[in-house]
């Protein structure tokens, strides 16, 4: 039995509590590699729905493909969390980058050979999504070994800033590449090629890191895999506040899983070009960048409950702005607000979770949390594409607004109001 302690010990002798993150070479290597690969992911992230819409003209197909990308969270996250508490996390992350390089690189290869098909895109989406699950869980579980506990909030906020900055660069660059190409299909294929190459940078930076990504496990009694999986779920469920947070996050993720696709479809209906769509999605990164900068300060000065409920209410307001948007600039404004809130919400939730859970349980607790919260995105993406095809973007956006308002109301009635 592993107790959950509110203040886990940081036993890595290579770092000190007072050391600046900017002097932490391993953290800088980890962050720099991710900046490049995440920008690449944003480039292909816009290319994927545009490619599917160009090939099939079906929002439902695009939603289904996004669902395949999130499905691995439901399939693999629980056993993977237990395994990551046993495996070498650094090795897992490097192998994941290699898999994504090969999978995404197969798109331009198949296209130039004249064999690119929708089925292949489905397979690649599932493979890259699976590698994402392995990588993200390993990275998150390793974070408390790379930085000391007092810097976890700042370190995770930098991760969020990296993600937001990638939005400012990736989608506009992707839109420019697609817009300059002879056809949307050719431009999207080139975007996939660029994305595949970015994972080389991540492999190189990970290879130079020297900090162990997990604490010594030799003194722990090894249980069966199923025992470890069930233990992670049970410990997550036994923590009242974590239980509330995971259910609430799952509901919000399910509701908002299709927002990017909705914005693309609505922008297209407003006669926006691929470059304009990329610019709209890129501008949203400004909001995420600001949110990532202020998130640690907000987490320090506001109660957790106020951050969670306030974020959900403001998301509902932002989605109503998307529904009312009659010009692309209002779509960008609503998207900026949405992305502004994600780092604030995420830093609050993740910091609380990482500070509560000892390293020996990080993999299981994180995977159990994301199995529920991220797994709901697969359902939301699949249903979102279908509902978008049935109701259209306008009515669907209002349904999301109502759902978010109900989530905020429900959260207000839980123990969150006391934290």
Q: Is the pLDDT of residue 408 over 90?
A: yes
- Residue 265 in tokens: 């479809």
Per the CB < 8 A criterion, the answer to whether 159 and 34 are in contact is yes
Range(s) of the domain holding residue 142: 24-210+223-418
DSSP secondary structure, 127-174, as one string:
HHHHHHHHHHHHHHHHHHHHS-GGGHHHHHHHHHHHHHHHHHHHHHHH
- 56-70, 123-137, 199-213, 402-416: segment of lowest average pLDDT: 56-70
Per the CB < 8 A criterion, the answer to whether 355 and 152 are in contact is yes
Q: State the Rg of the chain over Cα.
A: 21
Percent of the chain with pLDDT over 70: 90
Which pTM was predicted?
0.69
Q: Is residue 3 part of a domain?
A: no
Q: Is residue 9 part of a domain?
A: no
* Distance of alpha carbon 399 from alpha carbon 374, whole angstroms: 20
Contact partners, residue 55, CB within 8 Å, separation at least 6: 118, 185
Q: Is residue 67 part of a domain?
A: yes
- Confidence band for 221, pLDDT divided at 50, 70 and 90: low
Q: Is residue 61 part of a domain?
A: yes
Mean pLDDT of 256-276: 87
The predicted structure's pLDDT at residue 222: 59
Short-list 23, 25, 59, CA closest to 396: 59
Between 20 and 208, the higher pLDDT residue: 208
Per the CB < 8 A criterion, the answer to whether 191 and 177 are in contact is yes
Q: Is residue 12 part of a domain?
A: no
pLDDT for 270-286, tens place per residue?
A: 888 888 888 888 888 78
The predicted structure's pLDDT at residue 1: 40
The predicted structure's pLDDT at residue 216: 63
Q: Is residue 333 part of a domain?
A: yes
SS3 117: coil
- Confidence band for 376, pLDDT divided at 50, 70 and 90: confident
Q: List the helix and strand counts (H, then E) for the chain.
A: 14, 0
- Residue 71 in tokens: 């499905």
Beta-carbon count within 10 A of 241 CB: 17
Structurally, how many domains does the chain consist of? 1
Q: Is residue 261 part of a domain?
A: yes
pLDDT for 87-118, tens place per residue?
A: 788 888 899 999 999 999 999 999 989 888 88
Mean pLDDT of 179-192: 87
Question: ∠33-180-165 over CA atoms, to 5°?
Answer: 30
Q: Which CATH number covers residue 299?
A: 1.20.1250.20
Q: Is residue 216 part of a domain?
A: no
């Amino acid at each position: 039995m592993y107790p959950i302690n509110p203040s886990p010990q940081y036993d890595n002798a290579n770092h000190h509590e007072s050391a600046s993150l900017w002097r932490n070479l391993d953290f800088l290597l980890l962050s720099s590699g991710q900046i490049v690969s995440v920008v690449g992911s944003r480039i292909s992230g816009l290319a994927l729905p545009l490619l599917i819409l160009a090939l099939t003209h079906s929002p439902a197909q695009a939603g289904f493909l996004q669902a395949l990308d999130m499905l691995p969270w439901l399939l693999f996250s629980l056993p993977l969390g237990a395994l990551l508490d046993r495996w070498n996390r650094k090795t897992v992350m490097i192998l994941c980058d290699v898999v994504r390089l090969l999978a995404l690189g197969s798109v331009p290869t198949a296209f130039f050979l004249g064999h690119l098909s929708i089925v292949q895109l489905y397979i690649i989406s599932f493979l890259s999504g699976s590698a994402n699950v392995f990588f993200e869980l390993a990275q998150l579980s390793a974070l408390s070994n790379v930085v000391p506990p007092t810097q976890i909030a700042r370190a995770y906020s930098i991760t969020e800033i990296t993600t937001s900055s990638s939005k400012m660069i990736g989608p506009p660059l992707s839109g420019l590449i697609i817009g300059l190409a002879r056809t949307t299909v050719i431009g999207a294929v080139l975007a996939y090629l660029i994305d595949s190459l970015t994972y080389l940078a991540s492999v190189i930076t990970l290879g130079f890191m020297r900090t162990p990504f997990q604490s010594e496990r030799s003194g722990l009694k090894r249980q069966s895999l199923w025992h470890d999986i069930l233990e992670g779920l049970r410990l997550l469920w036994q923590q009242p506040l974590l239980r509330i947070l995971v259910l609430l996050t799952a509901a919000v993720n399910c509701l908002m899983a299709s927002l990017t696709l909705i914005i693309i479809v609505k922008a297209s209906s407003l006669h926006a070009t691929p470059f304009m769509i990329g610019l709209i999605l890129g501008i949203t990164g400004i909001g995420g960048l600001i949110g990532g900068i202020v998130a640690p300060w907000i987490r320090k000065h506001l109660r957790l409950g106020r951050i969670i409920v306030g974020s959900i209410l403001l998301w509902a307001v932002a989605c109503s702005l998307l529904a009312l948007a009659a010009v692309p600039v209002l779509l960008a404004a609503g998207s900026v607000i949405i992305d502004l809130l994600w780092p604030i919400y995420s830093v609050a939730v993740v910091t609380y979770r990482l500070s509560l859970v000892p390293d020996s349980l990080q993999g299981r607790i994180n995977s159990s949390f994301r199995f529920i919260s991220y797994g709901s995105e697969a359902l939301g993406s699949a249903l979102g594409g279908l509902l978008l095809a049935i109701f259209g973007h306008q009515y669907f956006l209002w349904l999301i607004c109502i759902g978010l308002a109900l989530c905020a109301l429900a959260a207000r009635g839980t123990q969150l109001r006391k934290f």
